[in-house]
Amino acid sequence: MSDLVDTIGLAILTGVDAEDQLAVVRRAAEADRATHDLLQQAVTAARAGGHSWAAIGSTLGLTRQAAQQRFGRDDAGDDTGDNSNAPDGPEERWLGPVTAFDEMAELEIAGRLGWHTVGAGLLRHRMVRTATQWEHKRVLWTGSLARYERDGWQVGCRALPWVYLVRDTGEPAQQPAR
């Protein structure tokens, strides 16, 4: 991580041209989102493991209340799939519990029904429903995703050590069996 910070700092200090400055801003923003997602997942896992908000806050140099306000989410314990807090937004739900062994099969089924991953937590995926089918792919978080993006994949979410990619097939979503 210090290599990334040093590289960005050097690029800023050495006076790069305007286009390169925007590239530095874009990459720094990507790194910020990725580290925020990673920290959120780590805190969620620590809470699931029984650690108190006070212990988490102390580890982060925050008060208990500040840690809870920053990382506690109203929907973190809501496994009902109810999305009443956003009545005009997309239909959302949690898929889970799933493990590394069964999640891809579950995501394949959900994808045929129009659901795709937009987030992940401990043993579950936050899903959004559309009118089209989705493909899911799980890859190791090792660097550039350009080769996948060229094939139409986009990042659904990052959950160390994985990146979950999603791709809209354009086919109408199947109706669930009743």
Res 108: pLDDT: 96
Q: What percent of the chain has pLDDT over 90?
A: 35
Which residues, other chains included, contact 68 with Cβ-Cβ below 8 Å and sequence gap of 6+?
53, 57
Say if residue 176 is preceded by a cis peptide, omega within 30 of 0: no
Q: Pull the structure tokens for residue 131.
A: 């009118």
- pLDDT bin (cut points 50, 70, 90) of residue 73 is low
**Residues 42 and 51: beta-carbon distance below 8 Å:** no
Asked if residues 166 and 134 have their Cβ atoms less than 8 Å apart, the reply is yes
Does residue 63 carry a pLDDT above 70? yes
Backbone phi, then psi, for 156, in 5-degree steps? -80, -45
- pTM score above 0.75: no
d(CA 59, CA 53): 10
Q: Which residue has the higher pLDDT, 70 or 7?
A: 70
Mind listing the pLDDT tens digit for each residue in 119-175?
A: 988 888 999 999 999 999 999 988 788 899 999 999 999 888 899 999 999 999 998
Provide the 3-class DSSP secondary structure of residue 145: coil
